[in-house]
Amino acid sequence: MHKFPGDLNTSGSQISAKQIHLNLQNGTIGTLTEQKHETGISDARNYRIEHSKTDVGSQINSGRGTVGIAGQNVRITEGRRSGSVDAAVYNKSNLGISSHSVSMHGGESYDQAQGSSITGSRVVVQAQKNLDVRGSNIVSDNQTFLGAGGAVSITAAQNTHNSHRQQRETGSGIMGTGGGILIGSQTEGELNRQSSTGHTLSTIGSTHGRVDIQGKGNVLVSGTEIAAKDLSSITQTAT
């Protein structure tokens, strides 16, 4: 059995044992961050810059045993996998009396949830005050109980993706246009932008038993999959 009095942060942890009991005052079961940065630059118009940050989610698993988590305020939250890429390419060719250049600039950014996971034969999470679960999974074999003396919030985590691509072509000198000859310069450009938003659901479940969620304050369950073999309950009890 693992006991942790006082504050607790199990970021990026992997805890496995037959019986797991976490006692905390105010704690977060979250993630540990790993970062990566790569740069390739030929000149101001030819480069690639890539940055990524990945949170390693906490994994708490008791196998056939019990996971018990108790404290004043308990937060079980997702980590994030985010990054960005910025790249540019420029090419120019001279054809005697004319020249042609192409410049391209593009990039993307993303931010995605990396949920924490708590599993065991029985999983009991009890907060004296508030309980917050976001973008994470809490699943048992026989019983899952989430309770709070205050508010309960179980929600999804948001994911975003944005990209853009810009291309510009310029010709100068004496050029054929299909309908004649052009002397001078001509520029054509194109810009594309895309963005999307999605969500990573929380999952609260029990493969062979039931799920009970109780709070004396507000009980919010949104963007969450509740899955259990037996009848489950979500209740707000009197203070």
pLDDT value, residue 96 = 72
Could you tell me the CA-to-CA distances from 224 to 35, 61, 137, 201 in Å, in that order? 29, 21, 10, 5
Residue 204 in contact with residue 133, Cβ under 8 Å?
yes
Q: Name the residue range of residue 228's domain.
A: 8-86+114-161+200-236
Q: Is residue 221 assigned to a domain?
A: yes
23/70 Cα distance (integer angstroms): 5
Q: Is residue 169 assigned to a domain?
A: no
Q: Is residue 97 assigned to a domain?
A: no
pLDDT value, residue 25 = 54
pLDDT value, residue 12 = 44
pLDDT value, residue 22 = 62
pLDDT value, residue 77 = 84
Q: Is residue 172 assigned to a domain?
A: no
Within a 10 A sphere around the Cβ of 99, how many other Cβ atoms?
Answer: 15
In the chain, how many domains are there? 1
Q: Is residue 156 assigned to a domain?
A: yes
pLDDT value, residue 168 = 93
154/89 Cα distance (integer angstroms): 46
Could you tell me the CA-to-CA distances from 141 to 64, 208, 223 in Å, in that order? 8, 5, 22
Q: Is residue 102 assigned to a domain?
A: no
Residue 102 in contact with residue 108, Cβ under 8 Å?
no
Residue 200 in contact with residue 112, Cβ under 8 Å?
yes
Q: Is residue 177 assigned to a domain?
A: no
150/148 Cα distance (integer angstroms): 5
Average pLDDT along the chain, 239 residues, taken 10 residues at a time: 40 51 57 83 94 83 85 86 96 83 95 89 92 92 94 96 94 65 75 96 94 94 91 70
Q: Is residue 149 assigned to a domain?
A: yes
pLDDT value, residue 3 = 40
